Homo-oligomer: A and B are copies of this chain.
Amino acid sequence: MNGNKSITRRDEDFAKWYTDVVMAAKLARYSNVKGCILYEPNGTAIWEKIQQVLDKKFKETGHKNVQMPMLIPESLLRKEGDLVKGFAPEVAWVTEGGDKKLDERLCIRPTSETLFSDYYHEVVKSYKDLPLKYNQWCNVMRWEKEARPFLRGREFFWQEGHTVHATKEEAEAETKGMLDVYKEFFEDYLAIPVLTGRKTEKEKFAGAEYTLTVEALMYNGVSLQSGTTHYFGQKFSKAYDIRFVNSNNEFEYAYQTSWGVSNRMIGAIIMVHGDDNGLILPPRIAPIQVAIIKATTDNETDALARKIQKELDNNDISSYIDDSDKSFGFKMAEAEVNGIPVRIELGKRDIDNGVITISRRDTLEKNTIGINDNVVDYVFRLMDSIQANLYDRALKRRDSMTYHVNTLDEIKKIMDTQPGFIYSPWCGSTECELKMKEIKGLKSRCIVEDNEDGVCPVCGKKSKHTVVWGIQY
């Protein structure tokens, strides 16, 4: 494994390696619109595949899609105080339309609690209308100073689920249930093991009673908040007057949740699985699972390529035949840098010998099989093996960077060597949380369990929880 020449070595400069992989795999590029990323076909196709899988899961769990406006009038945004405090400093404002100055500023949605709540205010009347479990796939905007493809930028793509329920219990079950959907998706499709838990008061979403989170650990030991679900209780329903007549014929404020994941997930795929040769896509989320590369363009090779593609196609395995006039080596390298899980190489000499070569992207191992062997079965087994291996590899890496500690000294030592997920007892105070930040920016990722048997490493008082600390992207 010599690596791709256009890509900085991962262990040399992780941040530069990341950008190089994004560019080399043609996933995205910086646009000439400051702070905004332009997503190229390879990056867009991964997002579409993610949408397709998740959307099916959302619908299977009883959710329906809607489309809210992208603009929010300032007065509507200001109704829920905590939300405004959280977002007002980082929104983009439309102040002119159709060559006229507007009477009221409109912000481009940073998130849509406001619009959903305003809608629910109008349509929720009776407990018989509930629950309403809606979702939207959309672009949102937050006025970030910097942009990094998939990780940070003014505009990004996500889904935001917003639900309204007649009881606290049902809303809390939704908050937990959607976290499980996310966790399963990360583990089963993206082959990324994740940690789940509750955000601290300091780190929770503005306006939520509590926030649950899915946290993944990147190859370099940095944590990526990868998806969150929020229990709002009656905070928004009181601010936006969402009342329903309950089964006792009394007015009651509704209970709400929201939950979202974004195209940041693609950043996680890159940073968990990628290597010095470029992107590695888990087969279950790869828009194209097999690359068929021909060494020559003679009729026999062409026919074989088409025959193989047809068989794969009949079994819903996506593939492409590279018919371009680039060199054999170039095409092979391109499939590799783009992270295509399986590559079928049709060499002239191989074919003469009655075999074809199949290589797997995760380990770069190659094998030959007979031309008349069942290629579909082989590819299915190989993809299962790649999917499992990527998960295991990521889990081992994560375990090697997971620490259980009790003292500040241990924490400091870890931060001086190899950061990761640091489990420790915690007293629960924001003061101690802020002091942890002084150690190279450590932040709480989530509370994973109650723990009254330990001692807070910062203040020395009795602990309340076990919390996981990490460096945040």
Q: Are A98 and B94 in contact (CB under 8 A)?
A: no
B-contact bits for A68-81, CB 8 A (1 contact / 0 none): 11111100100000
Q: Are A106 and B67 in contact (CB under 8 A)?
A: no
Chain B residues with CB below 8 A from A47, complex form: 67
Q: Are B106 and A97 in contact (CB under 8 A)?
A: no
Q: Are B38 and A66 in contact (CB under 8 A)?
A: yes
A32 CB–B CB distance under 8 Å: yes
A440 CB–B CB distance under 8 Å: no
Tell me the complex Cα distance, A70–B122, Å: 30
Within 8 A of B (CB), among A26-51: 29, 31-34, 36-41, 43-45, 47-48
CB nearest to A90 among chain B residues: B98
Copies held by the complex = 2
A246 CB–B CB distance under 8 Å: no
Q: Are B41 and A71 in contact (CB under 8 A)?
A: no
Chain B residues with CB below 8 A from A45, complex form: 64-65
Tell me the complex Cα distance, A95–B141, Å: 14
Tell me the complex Cα distance, A97–B70, Å: 16
Q: Are B37 and A139 in contact (CB under 8 A)?
A: no
Q: Are B118 and A76 in contact (CB under 8 A)?
A: no
Q: Are A68 and B32 in contact (CB under 8 A)?
A: no
A201 CB–B CB distance under 8 Å: no
A209 CB–B CB distance under 8 Å: no
Given A88-B99, A119-B31, A143-B98, verify A37-B69 contact (CB < 8 Å).
Answer: yes
Main secondary structure of the interface of A (DSSP, over half): mixed
A348 CB–B CB distance under 8 Å: no
Shortest beta-carbon distance from A391 to chain B in Å: 28
Tell me the complex Cα distance, A155–B356, Å: 53
A329 CB–B CB distance under 8 Å: no
B-contact bits for A132-155, CB 8 A (1 contact / 0 none): 001000110101010000000011
Chain B residues with CB below 8 A from A89, complex form: 98-99
Chain B residues with CB below 8 A from A447, complex form: none
Chain B residues with CB below 8 A from A99, complex form: 88-89
Chain B residues with CB below 8 A from A95, complex form: 93-96
Chain B residues with CB below 8 A from A37, complex form: 69
Q: Are A115 and B73 in contact (CB under 8 A)?
A: no
A238 CB–B CB distance under 8 Å: no
A376 CB–B CB distance under 8 Å: no
Which of B29, B41, B134, B139 is in CB contact (< 8 Å) with A70?
B139
A54 CB–B CB distance under 8 Å: no
Chain B residues with CB below 8 A from A105, complex form: 96
Chain B residues with CB below 8 A from A108, complex form: 70, 94, 108
CB nearest to A263 among chain B residues: B67
Tell me the complex Cα distance, A412–B285, Å: 61
A92 CB–B CB distance under 8 Å: yes
Within 8 A of B (CB), among A349-389: none
Q: Are B31 and A48 in contact (CB under 8 A)?
A: no
CB nearest to A109 among chain B residues: B33
Q: Are A71 and B36 in contact (CB under 8 A)?
A: yes
A185 CB–B CB distance under 8 Å: no
A58 CB–B CB distance under 8 Å: no
Given A31-B115, A90-B98, verify A38-B64 contact (CB < 8 Å).
Answer: no
- What are 12 A-B residue pairs whose CB atoms fall within 8 Å in the complex? A31-B118, A32-B73, A33-B69, A33-B106, A36-B71, A41-B134, A44-B65, A93-B94, A95-B96, A108-B108, A128-B325, A139-B139
Closest 5 CB pairs of A and B: A98-B143, A36-B69, A41-B64, A39-B67, A93-B96
